[in-house]
Amino acid sequence: MSYPHPIVAREGWPFLGAAVIAAIVVQWLAGWWSAPIWLAALFILQFFRDPARSIPGDERTVVSPADGRIVVVETTRDPYLERDAIKVSVFMNVFNVHSNRSPVDGEVRQAWYNTGKFLNAALDKASLENERNALWLKTTSGADVTCVQIAGLIARRIICHVKPGDRLLRGGRFGFIRFGSRVDVYLPLSARVKAALGDKVQGGSSILALL
């Protein structure tokens, strides 16, 4: 999905603006007592950074939907499309870029939002118990891919900018999760997985699999 997106993600503009204004006011009133607020503003700036990425591959390439570390690569049940699938999970800590990108070229066929808990997103049970938002993507080659945004221990806000009928380009921004989280991708059993457990990946530019 295309929308204005400079170096700082638009989801962070209100937080960064409020922190900078508060720091300026406190500095004017109390001088160096503003230092902690400036540090908070710097943390917000790094959290909401959203650098441009070079998108590799072609329509059969699956790229990482987020920055972080691969915490799951396994064959399991896709709870949304009711099929056996390969699951690849990316865990994001608070120092990763939290903008979420489409793993494939395709159309959003369906979306599911589920309320839930806020367990540590690195835990396997977070996939089914935490607050989450799932997208069913039908790729241009006809494959079905499920991409699930999952809230974490600190995360309290999942943002998704797309709806059924929208078309996404591989590596295109579609959402954001605030303050630590996870993204699961369910792939067809025929997919050739390139990512391995423990790999550090970048959203949009690291290849997870080939369809």
Query: Which residue matches tokens 């996870």?
Result: 182
Catalytic residues: 181
Strand spans (E) along the chain? 61-63, 68-78, 83-92, 99-101, 106-114, 132-139, 144-151, 158-160, 167-168, 173-177, 181-187, 192-193, 200-201, 207-210
Do 199 and 101 share a structural domain?
Answer: yes
Give the tens place of pLDDT for each residue, 157-203: 788 999 999 999 999 999 888 766 889 999 999 999 999 999 999 99
Number of domains into which the chain is organized: 2
Do 192 and 113 share a structural domain?
Answer: yes
Do 104 and 17 share a structural domain?
Answer: no
Q: Which domain holds residue 178?
A: 61-210
Give the tens place of pLDDT for each residue, 101-119: 999 999 999 999 887 655 5
Do 104 and 23 share a structural domain?
Answer: no
Asked if residues 162 and 175 have their Cβ atoms less than 8 Å apart, the reply is yes
Does a structural domain hold residue 177?
yes
Domain CATH code at residue 70: 2.70.70
Q: Buried b / exposed e across 100-133, counting CB within 10 Å, b at 16+?
A: bbbbbbbebeeeeeeeeebbebbeeebbeebbbb
